Structure 1
């Protein structure tokens, strides 16, 4: 089955109907003799829908485990209708899924679910990020103390920070394994650092002020600016401990001296 003219508006009309069941098969779609166009178009549409939902389940396994398969697939179907894919790469699909979850009526009783999904998306993006050597701790010793505050760093392509008002890191961690889920006894806010210094993606919880500190560094702020932002948010921010943790996690790849 194919559009009579696969170019331009004909192909667009054909594709739109694959994710929107309210759209019927375009009039110019043809099928082999003896085949019913509408029936075959609906079968094709169903196959596309199932494939995209399966792709979302592969990207967000923790979310599916939390909600259950039936809830997840129903939510994913609504997301698919609202946000059709724009890339032929299946792992690229679902970038808007966390935002969709945040507005999804039936997920309102799980306000932490969207942030957990953001961590899962960051995990996948870190997994597919380019390989780069990480900055060694010894590199900081080459910087003159007087100019340390002005130094800017080159972030690792895999490094990401996800902020949350909920214990999203703990929820993510306990639902990315096949073991039993233990009761969560904390409701504290948790900010996630997602990195891949080697072959394995790491997700860790940032200390108070750590998210502000790293977010500024990843956005090309100077070390002094990043420290100031962290101290404003958390007066107890430990500069040395956070610098050591940042280097150990492989957040950075290089040093930029001056502006």
Structure 2
């Protein structure tokens, strides 16, 4: 057996118990003379769990602030045991944590918590997205009016949209700072636009129809198709305001003509 296969076989036996405390230390595990193998393995297992919980706390600081440290770490521990990491990069961990929150029994009194976590995850993904210049404000100036409906846009790698039936944007924003939390005065649904036009990630609340409009454009629809979808959702859709907003927020990196 090659060294690579031996290493893979050893990892297969060693790794599962690092997440699941019900799994005993591997039988062929050895330690230095006089050392208790099971005890040392349990210490290592605890260190791995704590490291993953710490990673979740770093990825979701607003969620931890909302729930409190003790509640968050207890919830995160259940998630860690149910969901081992699949990447060596810790910032990649916890992508399904928002979905886990939805099913977590003790978070049911905070139904908006999962969507707030989705915005927080989108913030981190936008932060780590590839760098590309954003579409310039004057890019539409030379386009013939008759050609506008057929335009298609190339998404910027950092652009993300999170839809919510809760005021998740306001909850996210007020809990990403160290200052006092103001009373929430709205129960209206809020769709989040997450972008990084320069160095800083920006989270904005989209106006009526804005999420449907941008989701269509991000999926490759023409401008005319996206506008039709937005108006189908709401007659109050403001095309001019949404166009100006998407350009200034850096949602797209390039523009192209349709067929």
TM-score normalised over the length of structure 2: 0.96
Q: Distance in 2 between matches of 1:39 and 1:137?
A: 62
Q: Distance in 1 between matches of 2:41 and 2:187?
A: 48
Tell whether the 8 Å contact from 2:222 to 2:258 is kept in structure 1 after alignment.
no
1:6 Cα deviation after fit: 5.0
Q: Distance in 1 between matches of 2:91 and 2:65?
A: 19
Alignment map for 1:212-223 (pairs within 5 Å): 212-223=212-223
Q: Distance in 2 between matches of 1:152 and 1:225?
A: 10
Q: Secondary structure of the equivalent of 1:187?
A: coil
Alignment map for 1:1-259 (pairs within 5 Å): 6-259=6-259
Considering only aligned residues, what root-mean-square deviation do their CA atoms show, in Å?
Answer: 1.0
More displaced 10-residue stretch of structure 1: 137-146 or 122-131: 137-146
Q: Distance in 1 between matches of 2:85 and 2:226?
A: 37
More displaced 10-residue stretch of structure 1: 128-137 or 206-215: 128-137
TM-score normalised over the length of structure 1: 0.96
Q: Secondary structure of the equivalent of 2:240?
A: helix
Q: Secondary structure of the equivalent of 1:18?
A: helix
Q: Distance in 1 between matches of 2:8 and 2:180?
A: 51
Q: Secondary structure of the equivalent of 2:25?
A: coil
Tell whether the 8 Å contact from 2:57 to 2:64 is kept in structure 1 after alignment.
yes
More displaced 10-residue stretch of structure 1: 209-218 or 5-14: 5-14
Q: Secondary structure of the equivalent of 1:194?
A: strand
Q: Distance in 2 between matches of 1:91 and 1:19?
A: 18
Q: Distance in 2 between matches of 1:125 and 1:75?
A: 22
Q: Distance in 1 between matches of 2:256 and 2:81?
A: 45
Q: Secondary structure of the equivalent of 2:179?
A: coil
Q: Distance in 1 between matches of 2:221 and 2:203?
A: 23
Q: Distance in 2 between matches of 1:77 and 1:10?
A: 25
CA deviation string 1:102-138 (max 9, x = no partner):
1111100000000000000000000011111111121
Q: Distance in 2 between matches of 1:83 and 1:6?
A: 25
CA deviation string 1:35-93 (max 9, x = no partner):
11100000000000000000000000000000000000000000001110000000000
CA deviation string 1:170-197 (max 9, x = no partner):
0000000001111111110000000000
More displaced 10-residue stretch of structure 1: 135-144 or 44-53: 135-144
1:28 Cα deviation after fit: 1.4
Structure 1, unmatched stretches of 5+, are none
Tell whether the 8 Å contact from 2:169 to 2:204 is kept in structure 1 after alignment.
yes
